[in-house]
Amino acid sequence: MTKLNKHSVCIHTGEIKDEQFGGAVSPIFMSSSYPFLEVEQKRYPRYFNTPNQEVIARKIAVLEQAEAGLTFASGMAAISTTLLALLKPGDHVVFQNEIYGGTYNLICKDFDQLGIQYSFTDGVAVNDFESKIKSNTKIIYIETPSNPLLTITDIKAVAQLAQNNGIITVIDNTFASPINQNPILLGIDVVIHSATKYLGGHSDILAGVVVSQQNIIDQIFQKGIILGGNLSDFMCYLLERSIKTLGVRIEKHNNNAMDIALFLNNHSKVNAVYYPGLANHPNHHIAKKQMNGFGGMLSFKLDQSINQTEFKNRFKIIKPTMSLGGVETTILKPTLTSHALLSEEDRCKQGITDNLWRLSVGIEDIEDLKNDLNQALI
């Protein structure tokens, strides 16, 4: 078959042909019992190989230009299974300082007990990673753009550093989505997505995916069948349906977020805007080099003259809810939500202050979003 472009991959790649009735979409195969072959080859939902699971794995692998993939029940199932599969007691990991809260909790709560050593970087420059490498460093783990300040890590430079030292690189690519950023092309080994966000896109699915080269996926598979974090076939079907519109959704997220970032940047009641698409973002030049679009996430600092509770309660269509990546625009305050468990000192070190708000810009009409923000910013 000819090589398809991204929008066509979103729609067609991996789909199951309905041999029985000739229907236009993949049927759902809910069976948990299939003919017995050899142990490693048997079809079983926990073996990540039901027809509907394979649709998602194939689609994301092709979108990310990876050899193979696995479909998980959540982003955290994908992250925890990957790390536990690739690490053993005595290994060391270098983690980027700004990473997803759930990943941070996994490291801080469980790694000591597992005998796995770790360091967090002090920043995202290449020498921040380099200075933390030890003789037993097995993985460098990054997240870009990061949450909530949209910090940009130079993917190619970190991948090169890791390759020079024989270290595996893992990226959480959730914020960018496979439409905006393909880390494997920049030298990264393992790409993870919380499919709960842009891949699902409608705030009604919890899922995760991992893609990499076949031998790494084989290792993650071996741990995955023990931990049991596979996604149900019904959810795979919903996720396949969602991914069909991923390309068009992301284009709209990109355009809307850029417009909102410029609008907030010029607003007198906003003191700072963090968006990798803005020329004043400290790593805009790196973002421009490694991203096809700047994504739908941004954050900003409110002027002290605004009462923050009143601000939140004024919105007519923007929803003050958790999570991100849905078609609807949502807003939250990281100090009360995603970063509430960090100490104030740690938050301040990262620049997460009490007047910081994070916006997941949806795909509504831009005028309606601007109007809603404008009437709240008084």
Ligand X SMILES: *Cc1c(COP(=O)(O)O)cnc(C)c1O
Q: Residues with catalytic annotation? A: 46, 100, 172, 197
> What secondary structure does DSSP assign to 200-243, as a single string?
T-SS----EEEEE-HHHHHHHHHHHHHHT-BPPHHHHHHHHHHH
Is 75 a binding residue for ligand X by CB under 6 A? The answer is: yes
- When binding is defined by CB under 6 A, the residue of 9, 61, 62, 76 that contacts ligand X is 76
| Near ligand X by CB under 6 A: residue from 180, 194, 212, 254 | 194
Q: For residue 174, state whether it binds ligand X (rule: CB under 6 A).
A: yes
Is 201 among the residues that bind ligand X (CB under 6 A)?
no
Q: Choose between 298 and 376: whose C-beta lies nearer to ligand X.
A: 298
Q: Which CB, 49 or 80, lies closer to ligand X?
A: 80
**Whole-number Å distance between alpha carbons of 71 and 54:** 8
Q: Kindly state whether residue 196 participates in binding ligand X, applying the rule CB under 6 A.
A: yes
Residue closer to ligand X (CB basis): 28 or 106: 106
Tokens of 271: 């003191």
Q: Which residue among 184, 206, 216, 250 contacts ligand X (CB under 6 A)? A: 206
Nearest to 106, CA basis, from 132, 77, 88, 80: 80
Q: Is 69 in the site for ligand X (CB under 6 A)?
A: no
- Give me the least distance between CB of 65 and ligand X, in Å please: 21
Residue nearest to ligand X (CB): 75
Secondary structure class of 12 (helix, strand, coil): helix
Q: Which of 208, 229, 326, 334 binds ligand X (CB under 6 A)?
A: 208
CB-based burial label for 103 (10 Å; 0-12, 13-18, 19+): buried
Cα separation, 263 vs 273, in Å, equals 10
Among 187, 145, 151, which residue's Cα sits nearest to residue 169? Answer: 187
147 binds ligand X (CB under 6 A): yes
Beta carbon nearer to ligand X, 153 or 311? 153
> For the window 83-102, what string marks contact with ligand X as x by the rule CB under 6 A?
-----------------x-x
Minimum gap (Å) between residue 360 Cβ and ligand X: 10
CB atoms within 10 A of CB 70: 28
With CA atoms as reference, report the closest residue to 208 among 332, 326, 57, 330: 57
Token output for 27: 């049927």
Nearer to ligand X, 71 or 147 (CB): 147
Q: Which is nearer to ligand X, 48 or 100 (CB)?
A: 100
Tell me the number of residues near ligand X by CB under 6 A.
Answer: 15
- 278 binding ligand X? (CB under 6 A): no
Q: Which is nearer to ligand X, 29 or 212 (CB)?
A: 212
- CB 206 → ligand X: shortest distance, Å? 5
| Residue 197 within binding range of ligand X, rule CB under 6 A | yes
Range in contact with ligand X (rule: CB under 6 A) among 134-142, 190-198, 247-255, 281-289: 190-198
What separation in angstroms does the CA of 131 have from each of 97, 134, 137, 138, 297? 13, 8, 12, 15, 30
Say how far apart CA 149 and CA 259 lie, in whole Å: 18
Q: Which residues are within 8 A (CB) of 79 and not within 5 positions of it... i.e. 6 or more apart?
A: 100, 102, 103, 106, 172, 192, 208
Q: Does 183 bind ligand X (CB under 6 A)?
A: no
- In the numeric block, the tokens 């597992």 are attached to 114
Measure the CA–CA gap between 318 and 28, rounded to whole angstroms. 34
Residue ranges binding ligand X (CB under 6 A): 74-76, 100, 102, 143, 147, 172, 174-175, 194, 196-197, 206, 208
